[in-house]
Amino acid sequence: MAELQEFRIETRAWLEENCPASMRTPMAPGEEVNGGSKMRSSNPDSYIWLDLMAEKGWTVPNWPVEYGGAGLDMDHYVVLLQEMARINAREPLAGMGISMIGPTLLEFGNDDQKARHLPKIASGEIRWCQGYSEPGSGSDLASLQTRAEDQGDNFLINGQKIWTSLAHYADWIFCLVRTDPRAPKHEGISFLLFSMDSEGVTVRPIRLISGASHFCETFFDDVVVPKVDLVHQQNRGWTVAKRLLQHERSGIHTLATAAASRNARMQTSKSLPAVAAGYLGKTDGKLSDPQLRDAIITNRMNARSLSLTQQRTVEESEGGTPGAATSIFKYYVAEIRKSLQELQLQAAGTQALGWEDDTFSKEELELTQMWLFSKASSIAGGSNEVQLNIIAKRVLGLPD
What single string gives the DSSP state of each residue in 267-325?
A: HHHHHHHHHHHHHH-EETTEES-HHHHHHHHHHHHHHHHHHHHHHHHHHH--S----TT
d(CA 316, CA 279): 43
Cβ neighbors of 231 (< 8 A, separation 6 or more) are 104, 105, 108, 109, 113, 174, 191, 192, 193, 237, 240
255 falls in which pLDDT band (50, 70, 90)?
A: low
Locate the DSSP E strands across the chain. 128-131, 147-150, 154-162, 172-178, 189-195, 201-206, 215-226, 230-231, 282-283, 286-287
CB atoms < 10 A from the CB of 3, how many?
A: 9
How far is C-alpha 221 from the geometric centre of its chain's CA atoms? Answer: 28
| Cα four-point dihedral sign 249, 241, 126, 370 | negative
389 CB contacts (<8 Å, ≥6 apart)? Answer: none
pLDDT of residue 265: 43
322-355 pLDDT, tens digit per residue, is 556 667 777 888 888 888 888 888 888 888 788 8
pLDDT of 264 over the 50 cut: no
Res. 277: pLDDT tops 80: no
The pLDDT of residue 160 is 97
Instruction: Report the pLDDT averaged over residues 15-30.
Output: 92
**Can you state the angle between helices 290-316 and 252-280, rounded to 10 degrees?**
170
Exposed, middle or buried, 8 (CB in 10 Å: 0-12/13-18/19+)? middle
Residues marked active site are found at 248
Task: Please say if the pLDDT value at position 318 is more than 50.
Answer: yes
Mean pLDDT for 53-61 is 97
Rounded Cα gap, residues 156 and 222, in angstroms: 6
* pLDDT of res. 297: 84
Q: Is the pLDDT of residue 263 over 50?
A: no
Distance CA 216, CA 262 (A): 29
Query: How much of the chain, in percent, has pLDDT values that exceed 70?
Result: 86
Written as one letter, the residue type at 359 is T
What is the H or E stretch that residue 365 is in? helix 362-374
163: left (phi over 0), alpha (psi -120 to 50) or beta: left
Contact call for residues 180 and 136 (beta carbons, < 8 A): no
Q: What is the pLDDT of residue 377?
A: 77
pLDDT score of 355: 82
> Taking a C-beta distance cutoff of 8 angstroms, is the pair 254, 247 a contact?
yes
